């Protein structure tokens, strides 16, 4: 792999032009979106897309999301656009929603990882859309982290993982949502949720009249099962620490954590509940504020590694609304290890 002196580009028109020029030349650029930072390449250039897998250390069988700036960008990428997709796009694009289409002949195999489908999203972030427009091509972009580590929600997170591996990162500040987009299969009569995100099941149902949830969203895939969304089969978002999710009331959580206070443990807890704890802690938002938890969860997981945390007892988030996405990411960070502490 080539070595780069990675530049941090400012989020102004000069930075946008520099990012677009690199992308047109087949290079990779870290770009901000409202969900997480993406590691972008020209989606129509199989060679450029191939470099994403090398830079991230990503398994070759995990397909990428293609990002467009305007609805006119969709028809060339999809072999067919179902009515349901049109309705969902009207309601939630631009935004944190990815839909799976049958792919057109334009999509290189490197993007779809051999599948006959392609995932497409129109991000809301103005810098993301400005870069797509300036590049003049759709952009394939996975999250801009090294494969397996927590997704990046600041340019500094991208630098921590990608410095030396890519020519540039475009700085767009902190990502507003903080967890990756909702991924839905729209080939049936109602959407099927493959990955929860900022567009919640209730929001999908409000437009589509119903929604189904793939069992892999909150369950470990049985050995040998084929994942509807290949990304769901990998251990994901994992810090180096050993994370355990602890489900229970604030009092039961505190009692459980404190019973381990003579061990080298760290708590990942809700804001306002840290006063009851007798161990070191990191907070990730108030218990009832799922949006704040989504915004902070990946940064908290990265900070646990910075402080060299060994075992982390993480307070289990409520699963309502965007909380389902927070729970889904933490379940994977914990490799599905959950302890119930309510009597």
Q: Which residues bind ligand TXA (CB under 6 A)?
A: 33, 35-36, 38, 62-65, 96, 98, 100, 112, 115, 117-119, 121, 141-143, 180-181, 183, 194-195, 229-232
Which of the residues 127 through 166 are near Mg ion (CB under 5 A)? 143
Which residue is closest to Mg ion by CB? 143
Listed in order, strand segments (DSSP E) in 211-302 are: 212-213, 242-247, 265-269, 281-283
Residue 334: which of ligand TXA, Mg ion, none does it interact with, CB under 5 to 8 A by kind?
none
Instruction: Name which of 54, 27, 21 is nearest 40 in CA terms.
Output: 27
Distance CA 323, CA 168 (A): 33
Residue 69 C-beta: closest distance to ligand TXA, Å: 13
The count of chain residues that interact with Mg ion, using the rule CB under 5 A, is 1
Residue 125: name its binding partner from Mg ion, ligand TXA, none (Cβ under 5 to 8 Å by kind): none
Q: Give the chain's largest Cα–Cα span.
A: 60
Q: Are 24 and 37 in contact (CB under 8 A)?
A: no
Q: How far apart are the first and last CA of the chain?
A: 53
Dihedral sign, Cα of residue 38, residue 40, residue 44, residue 45: negative
Is-contact 126 242, C-beta < 8 A? no
Instruction: Find which of Mg ion, ligand TXA, none residue 36 binds, CB within 5 to 8 Å per kind.
Output: ligand TXA
Closer residue to ligand TXA (CB): 9 or 36: 36
Closest CB to ligand TXA: residue number: 231
Euclidean distance between CA atoms 27 and 21, whole angstroms? 9
* Per-residue binding letters, 59-98, with Mg ion (x by CB under 5 A): ----------------------------------------
- Taking the least distance from each CB to ligand TXA, the nearer of 180 and 273 is 180
Interface residue list for Mg ion (CB under 5 A): 143
């Amino acid at each position: 792999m080539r070595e780069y002196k990675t530049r941090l580009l400012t989020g102004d028109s000069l930075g946008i032009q520099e990012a677009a020029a690199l992308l047109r030349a087949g290079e990779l650029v870290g770009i901000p979106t409202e969900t997480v930072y993406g590691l972008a390449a020209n989606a129509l250039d199989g060679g450029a897309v191939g470099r994403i897998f090398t830079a991230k250390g990503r398994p070759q069988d995990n397909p990428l999301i293609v990002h467009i700036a305007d609805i006119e960008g969709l028809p060339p990428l999809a072999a067919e656009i179902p009515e349901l997709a049109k309705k969902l796009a009207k309601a939630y694009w631009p935004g944190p929603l990815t839909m799976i289409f049958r792919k057109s002949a334009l999509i290189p195999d490197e993007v779809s990882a051999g599948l006959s489908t392609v995932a497409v999203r129109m991000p809301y972030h103005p810098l993301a859309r400005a870069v797509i427009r300036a590049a003049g091509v759709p952009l394939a972009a996975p999250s801009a982290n090294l494969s397996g580590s927590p997704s990046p929600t600041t340019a500094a997170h991208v630098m921590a993982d990608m410095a030396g591996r890519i020519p540039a990162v475009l700085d767009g500040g902190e990502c507003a949502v903080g967890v990756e987009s909702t991924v839905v299969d729209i080939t049936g009569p109602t959407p099927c949720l493959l990955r929860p995100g900022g567009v919640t099941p209730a929001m999908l149902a409000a437009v589509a009249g119903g929604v189904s949830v793939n069992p892999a969203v909150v369950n470990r895939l049985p050995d040998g099962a084929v994942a509807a969304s290949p990304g769901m089969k990998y251990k994901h978002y994992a810090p180096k620490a050993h994370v355990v999710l602890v489900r229970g009331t604030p009092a039961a959580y505190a009692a459980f954590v404190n019973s381990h206070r003579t061990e080298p443990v760290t708590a990942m807890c809700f804001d306002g509940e840290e006063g009851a704890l007798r161990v070191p802690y990191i907070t990730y938002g108030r218990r009832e504020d799922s949006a704040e938890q989504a915004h902070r969860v990946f940064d908290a997981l990265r900070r646990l590694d910075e402080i060299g945390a060994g075992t982390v007892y993480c307070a289990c988030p409520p699963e309502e609304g965007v909380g389902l996405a927070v729970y889904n990411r933490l379940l994977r960070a914990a490799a599905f290890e959950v302890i119930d502490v309510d009597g």
